[in-house]
Amino acid sequence: MATIAGVKPSVLRFWETEFRWLRPDKSPTNQRVYTRKQVERVLEVKSLLYERGFTIAGARKQLTVEKNLEEPDKVQVLTRIREGLRDILTLLERKT
């Protein structure tokens, strides 16, 4: 992973302590096994820190903001589901 990210293994281990989502599983031979999502996020961290000049705290905050933008608002999703269920109920009541 350090080779893929282009950072020293010690840097990667430090990032593991700073970013909760970066906790790789271990293989039976005790090697770290990263998911594709973790690899992508590590590359994002590297870009934020090395190219865009963010601090660790700033990178953590930026990734949280980006994640929140990717995930739809749960209240809005539940509201849409509730409205859809009401529409279905209305249709069913008309048929009876």
In angstroms, what CA-CA distances link 89 with 83, 93, 96? 10, 6, 11
Residue 81 located in a structural domain: no
Closest CA to 12 of 39, 51, 52: 39
Please list, in sequence order, all residues whose beta carbon lies within 8 angstroms of the beta carbon of residue 25, skipping any fewer than 6 positions away: 32, 33
Give how many domains the chain has, as a whole number.
Answer: 1
Q: Give residue-wise pLDDT tens across range 56-93.
A: 999 999 988 777 655 666 777 788 889 999 989 998 88
Host domain of residue 59: 2-71
Residue 96 located in a structural domain: no
- CATH number for position 53: 1.10.1660.10
Residue 78 located in a structural domain: no
- Spatial distance between the Cα atoms of 41 and 85, rounded to a whole number of angstroms: 37
Residue 33 located in a structural domain: yes
Q: Give residue-wise pLDDT tens across range 1-50.
A: 899 999 999 999 999 999 988 999 999 999 999 999 999 999 999 999 99
